[in-house]
């Protein structure tokens, strides 16, 4: 990419998109094209076509997607497959039609089989069945990978797919109904700590910033305690008890979102599709690149790490009646490491940084 190139970041307000935009600005890129969802609905084929015809971006980061945790993925299965397919189909196809020089498509490691060998290599894609709870989302992301590969093979485009591990960082989704495990635990323990301290001003500010099922900080203490209890934040004896879904035994890998953004920009600057496979191969497959740390942690240990970082003194209850999801999801980032990139922020540091950001947003 050239510093004066026109760069479109789809999803620039999200966890990944905002980090990519910040990274590009820091590296001296200056011409950005952005649109909020209200300004451009990426599910609208005609609107996306008009946008590309008007703006003519040189490079595209496709970071826009409908995302969520186990509950959201399993509950809104139709929404997850429909919306993600529509978004990526429109952006990838219009990028081809309007001569985009290079596109980076962001997937997810949930594309790998439920019982995938560990750590997960790119070659393990489509070798077994998927985890049921997020199967629609995973299928949409697999379709995006294959769409990029297919357009490259048939039309000679330069579209690259990357598969990030679980991400966290500034601008994460802290909605308790739809968020992933790490941001959900951060918010729950933040609210639990406030209850311990009887800091109702902190609780009300949090709910005003992001209501829980339409319950804001203006609600009565009784109603607020009721909604918190329904999400596993409850008074127990003299202290506060916090529910964590599942047994706590599943292992998960986490990557700081700004490290992820740096990897994305690194790949856009240093990698082309033709370098993602051997010239002598008869079948071009699995050209995507994993982005991860290669280090995982149990959900139980993660919960206690967040508990210590936030200073929550209450007890944790692991509800084994709730789903665990896949027991282990660890990426093999050796392909990316071989290109010369490695993450910088460790998990303990990252949790402290994201909690500082979370509290600052609510002051």
Q: What is the pLDDT of residue 243?
A: 95
SS3 content of the chain, % helix, strand, coil (to 5): 45, 15, 35
Each residue of 36-64: pLDDT tens digit?
999 999 999 999 999 999 999 999 999 99
Kindly state the percentage of the chain with pLDDT values over 70. Answer: 100
Q: What is the pLDDT of residue 309?
A: 96
Kindly state the percentage of the chain with pLDDT values over 90. Answer: 85
* Domains of the chain from N-terminus onward: 6-171+253-294+329-345 (3.40.50.720)
Residue 185 pLDDT exceeds 80: yes
Each residue of 201-254: pLDDT tens digit?
999 999 999 999 999 999 999 999 999 999 999 987 789 999 999 999 999 999
**What average pLDDT does the segment 310-317 reach?**
96
Residue pair 81/139 in contact (Cβ under 8 Å)? The answer is: yes
Work out the number of other CB atoms within 10 angstroms of the CB of residue 109. Answer: 22
Q: What is the pLDDT of residue 48?
A: 98
Torsional sign, CA 219, 66, 169, 138: positive
Phi then psi for 161, rounded to 5 degrees?
A: -110, 140
Q: What is the pLDDT of residue 323?
A: 84
**What average pLDDT does the segment 124-147 reach?**
95
Between strands 233-236 and 239-245, the pairing is: antiparallel
| Gap between the Cα atoms of 37 and 59, Å rounded | 20
Instruction: Catalytic residue, from 137, 151, 168, 355: name it.
Output: 137
Q: What is the pLDDT of residue 67?
A: 85
Q: What is the pLDDT of residue 71?
A: 80
Q: What is the pLDDT of residue 61?
A: 98
**What average pLDDT does the segment 119-140 reach?**
95
Q: How many helices (H) and strands (E) does the chain have?
A: 12, 13
Question: Residues near 329 by Cβ (< 8 Å), separated by ≥ 6?
Answer: 109, 110, 112, 116, 120, 165, 166, 251, 252, 253, 296
Between strands 31-33 and 6-10, the pairing is: parallel
In the residue annotation, 137 being an active-site residue is answered as: yes
| Gap between the Cα atoms of 6 and 116, Å rounded | 39
Residue 56, token pair as written in the block: 């003519």
Q: What is the pLDDT of residue 300?
A: 97
Between strands 315-319 and 233-236, the pairing is: unpaired
Q: What is the pLDDT of residue 70?
A: 77
Mean residue pLDDT of the chain comes to: 95
| Gap between the Cα atoms of 30 and 56, Å rounded | 16
| Gap between the Cα atoms of 72 and 75, Å rounded | 5
- Annotate 299-313 with DSSP letters as a single string: HHHHHHHHHHHHT--
pTM equals 0.90
Question: Residues near 61 by Cβ (< 8 Å), separated by ≥ 6?
Answer: 7, 8, 9, 10, 17, 20, 103, 104, 106, 264, 268
| Gap between the Cα atoms of 108 and 255, Å rounded | 12
């Amino acid at each position: 990419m050239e510093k004066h190139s026109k760069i479109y970041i789809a999803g620039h307000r999200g966890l990944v998109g905002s980090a990519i935009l910040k990274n590009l600005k820091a590296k001296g890129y200056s011409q950005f094209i952005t649109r909020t969802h209200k300004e451009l609905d990426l599910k609208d084929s005609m609107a996306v076509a008009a946008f590309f015809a008007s703006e003519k971006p040189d490079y595209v980061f496709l970071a826009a997607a409908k995302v969520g945790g186990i509950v959201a993925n399993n509950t809104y299965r139709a929404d997850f497959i429909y919306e993600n397919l529509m978004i990526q189909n429109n952006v990838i196809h219009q990028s081809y039609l309007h001569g985009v020089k290079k596109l980076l498509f962001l997937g997810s490691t949930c594309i790998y089989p439920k019982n995938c060998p560990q750590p997960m290599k790119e070659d393990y894609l489509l070798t077994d069945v998927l985890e049921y709870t997020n199967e629609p989302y995973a299928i949409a992301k697999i379709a995006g990978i294959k769409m990029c590969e297919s357009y490259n093979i048939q039309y000679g485009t330069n579209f690259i797919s990357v598969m990030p591990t679980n991400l966290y960082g500034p601008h994460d989704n802290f909605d308790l109904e739809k968020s992933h495990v790490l941001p959900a635990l951060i918010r729950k323990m933040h609210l639990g700590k406030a209850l311990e301290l009887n800091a109702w001003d902190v609780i009300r500010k949090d709910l005003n910033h992001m209501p829980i099922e339409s319950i804001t900080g203006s609600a009565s203490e009784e109603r607020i305690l009721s909604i918190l209890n329904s999400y596993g934040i409850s008074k127990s004896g003299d202290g506060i008890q916090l529910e964590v879904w599942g047994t706590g035994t599943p292992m998960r890998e986490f990557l700081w979102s700004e490290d992820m953004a740096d990897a994305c920009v690194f790949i856009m600057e240093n990698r082309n599709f033709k370098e993602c496979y051997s010239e002598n191969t008869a079948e071009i497959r699995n050209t995507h690149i994993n982005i991860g740390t290669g280090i995982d942690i149990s959900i139980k240990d993660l919960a206690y790490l967040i508990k210590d970082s936030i200073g929550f003194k209450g007890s944790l209850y692991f509800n084994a009646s709730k789903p665990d999801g896949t027991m282990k999801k660890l990426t093999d980032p050796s392909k990316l490491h071989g290109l010369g990139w490695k993450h910088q922020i460790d998990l303990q540091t990252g949790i402290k940084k994201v909690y500082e950001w979370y509290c600052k947003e609510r002051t």
